Amino acid sequence: MTILDRRRTQILGQMGIAIWKSRLYPDEGATGEGRPAGNRIELVEEPENIEIVDSGQFANLEEVASAVRGCQRCPLYRERKNAVPGRGNPAADWMFIGEAPGRDEDLQGLPFVGRSGQLLTSMISALGLARDQVFIANAIKCRPPNNRDPAEHEVEQCKPYLKAQIDMVKPRVIVALGRISARLLLDAHEKTPMSELRGAVHRYEKTGIPLIVTYHPAYLLRSPDQKRIAWQDLLLARSQMN
Ligand code: URA
């Protein structure tokens, strides 16, 4: 997908080139994995405020959550019903990081409460854990319109909130769900394929916390034959707890 800012859009307009809005994605949650490819051009607004949040400015998780709920640092706040800071055990050993809220999450202000969330709950149960034992958050805290991929400036503005959450929870293992959160957490190039990210024990920044990448539950709902591979990823994550 090509993201256009306002200036480039104006230039294209002056050149007589039409801008097409993206087609609507099925409203089942943020589903970066395997979205229909194509040469869609989507208009994404420029940031209004380029000052970046400092992840060290928060005293506790509640402060992070309340900053997220009031955040207006990128245009995503205008269309959200609720920001979705994340939820879980503040001293969790496991942290699961998704992409961005979908429709259900936006309505409820809670992460992974739609169909993808049901599958995530099953994945967590299969590990012998309950949802309230782990911490669940997203890379992006507000729903991108029509569940489009988040733009780079949206990711950059939001990144310090997730960093603060990880620094406070100090999990023993992080599971990145899908390519958006994996690339963000590993600072990987936006084109790095999942095949290069999965199947290895990465480390989160300088903390040394093991980080495992697996498929996003929304992708697994569409490609159930990949669940076996995702289970291998979760076992790899569990092996880091020994
Ligand atoms: N998909 C995500 O990545 N996060 C959610 O919270 C819901 C769906």
Which ligand 1 atom is at minimum distance from the Cα of 110? 6
**pLDDT, the chain, mean:** 85
Ligand 1 pocket: which of 116, 131, 143, 162 to mutate (most atoms <8 Å of CB)? 116
Which of 2-11, 135-144, 187-196 ranks highest by mean pLDDT? 135-144
Q: What is the pLDDT of residues 158-201, one digit of tens each?
A: 999 999 999 999 999 999 999 999 999 999 988 899 999 999 99
CA of 110 to the centre of ligand 1 (A): 9
Question: pLDDT above 70 covers what percent of the chain?
Answer: 79
Q: Has residue 238 got a pLDDT over 60?
A: yes
Atom number of ligand 1 nearest to Cα 32? 3
Residues ≥6 apart with Cβ < 8 Å to 218: 28, 29, 30, 31, 32, 33, 102, 115, 116, 178
